[in-house]
Amino acid sequence: MTSHALTTARLPLAIACLIALLAPAVHAQDPAPQGVRIGLTYSSGTRPGLYILPMQGPDADSIKAIISRDLDYGDRITVIAPDSGQPTVGTLNYPLFARLGAAAILQVTPSAGGTLRLVLHEVAAARVLQSADLPLRGAPLSPEWRMSLHGIADEIERWVTGARGVSATRILFTREGTLWQVDADGANAQRVPGVVSGLDPAWHPSGQQMAYMEMLDDGTHVVLRDIESGRSRRVSSTGGTNMSPAFSPDGKTMVYASGEDGVDLFALPVEGSDRRIRITVGGSTNAQPSFSPDGRRIAFTSFRLGRPEIYITDADGTNAELLTTSGFGDQLYRSDPSWSPDGRFVAFSTQIEGRFQIATISLRDRSVKQHTIDAVNEDPSWAPDARHLVFTSSRSGSKQLWVLDTESGRMRQLTRGPAARMAAWSPRLVITR
């Protein structure tokens, strides 16, 4: 159990119209600048500017707004998207777009059949870099439609930067004692149907199942639930304390904390046998497991020193070692480990001056970086891109979920309303190719 813009460049309409009108053919370009080459050319360490041309057609305003926001929240691209104007027809004036700060130009053409025609131009090379016809599923503006559009935005981000975005994901969290979910952009917050009591949620790596802790009269139980059908089963057969489930990266094993007098980690096959295997040996509380991306090791919280610290052990329980060896955090209270999907960091909560803050520790040199200062911040969970974290924070006056870009330090509020905590970020739910 856990401790308890892209800057959107606004261009005047006159400039947007000028771009539509001034479109002489381009026959020669200066040599491409030195920098990163992943399809698009742009300077290393910068966020390439993407000019999204005005679009027309069914639901064009909503499509443009969602794509622009998704790319903004990805923190890798600077979106340049004028509020209005006519779609550009004919040859593009690449030098003019370059002067506006664009490394790439995106044309999006919605069709009545629910397909988006996307064309991405590289400004420096004066050429079409990528193009595709990608489908939108579901009724316009429905959750399914929005999620498919998020997948398209993630594909655009991959075209531009080489790294796929995380817009087509959801976050599970606890609100008023039960489970809720919300899209990564903060839309469609809703209660998970059929769950009466739900804490400590975890996503199966397929995105098709979840696990959570259920509170009953005889204690707490771990429940495995199929998301599409709603079928669920308790995987903990004993009373007492059963909590903090986590799935192995291959989805075949679930580890959770269980016990009555003490609490230890146990592994259980997700399918088939109900025989569980002990990972840690009693004498203290051991909980909050988080797998390394290769599945070979587990980070967890243990009280074996008389206070909570983060440890790492092999997946079979051997070779346990203390991870948080430094004196970082004046109360020496570290918990809530979350292993990054790229294997480089473990995020955790640490108590500083009487309040919890979010920090990460490098697995390479054990250096620690503090990411939050204001208010109380805890329960970090990584996004699939190993760059963003969702966490619980009181900075808005009540406990809500916030998203942090660990590279730039940018934060945004994800939830509003009744208190939200114990977040778990899903794997990518839509992959558009």
Decide if 313 is inside a domain: yes
Q: Using the predicted structure, report yes or no on whether residue 21 has a pLDDT greater than 80.
A: no
Mean pLDDT of 4-10: 31
431 part of a folded domain: no
Last residue of a domain, one of 143, 161, 179: 161
CA angle 204, 210, 214 (to 5 degrees): 140
175 falls within a domain = yes
3-state secondary structure of 153: helix
Biggest alpha carbon–alpha carbon distance for the chain:
78
User: Do 277 and 320 belong together in one domain?
Assistant: yes
How high is the pLDDT of residue 45?
A: 73
Local confidence band at 430 (pLDDT 50, 70, 90 cut-offs): confident
- Residues 264, 258 contacting (CB under 8 angstroms): yes
Residue 54 is assigned to a structural domain of this protein:
yes
Average pLDDT over residues 203-210: 97
Categorize the per-residue pLDDT at 429 as very low, low, confident or very high, splitting at 50, 70 and 90: very high
11 or 263, greater pLDDT = 263
Q: Region 192-213: what's the mean pLDDT? A: 95
Supply the pLDDT for residue 83.
75
Q: What is the mean pLDDT of residues 79-107?
A: 85
Domain total in the chain: 2
Does 227 score more than 60 pLDDT? yes
If asked whether residues 278 and 383 sit together in one domain, one would say yes
Q: What is the CATH number of the domain that holds 90?
A: 3.40.50.10070
Same domain, 150 and 185: no
Q: Are residues 68 and 124 in the same domain?
A: yes
Residue 141 inside a domain? The answer is yes
The reported pLDDT for the residue numbered 260 is 81
49 and 181 housed in the same domain: no
Whether 274 and 200 share a structural domain? yes
Question: Is the C-alpha dihedral spanning 288, 292, 296, 299 positive or negative?
Answer: negative
- Domain assignment present for residue 339? The answer is yes
Q: Specify if 32 maps to a domain.
A: yes
Higher pLDDT, 9 or 72: 72
Q: Are residues 17 and 126 in the same domain?
A: yes
Residue that is last in its domain, among 161, 182, 211: 161
**59-91 pLDDT per residue, tens:** 999 999 999 999 999 999 999 988 766 666 668
Q: What percent of the chain has pLDDT over 90?
A: 75
How far is Cα 404 from Cα 180, in angstroms, rounded to an integer? 20
pLDDT in tens, 318-338: 999 999 987 666 668 999 999
Judge if 269 and 341 occupy the same domain.
yes
Residue 219: the pLDDT is 86
Using DSSP's 3-state secondary structure scheme, residue 331 falls into coil
Average pLDDT over residues 306-317: 95
Last residue of a domain, one of 121, 141, 161: 161
150, 174: one domain: no
What rounded mean pLDDT belongs to the chain? 88
Q: Are residues 89 and 144 in the same domain?
A: yes
- How much of the chain is in helix, strand and coil states, percent to nearest 5? 10, 40, 50
Q: Which domain holds residue 108?
A: 13-161
pLDDT of residue 329: 61
Mean pLDDT of 134-160: 96
The pLDDT of residue 24 is 33
Lowest mean pLDDT among 152-166, 315-329, 373-387, 410-424: 315-329
pLDDT value, residue 379: 98
What's the pLDDT score for residue 7? 30
pLDDT of residue 240: 86
Q: Of all residues in the chain, what percent carry a pLDDT higher than 70?
A: 87
Do 67 and 178 fall within a single domain? Answer: no
Q: Is residue 4 part of a domain?
A: no
Asked if residue 156 and residue 210 are part of one domain, the reply reads no
Phi first, then psi, for residue 156 (nearest 5°) are -60, -45
CATH number of 396's domain? 2.120.10.30
By CB atoms closer than 10 A (0-12, 13-18, 19+), residue 27 is: exposed
Average pLDDT over residues 335-351: 97
Q: What is the pLDDT of residue 6?
A: 26
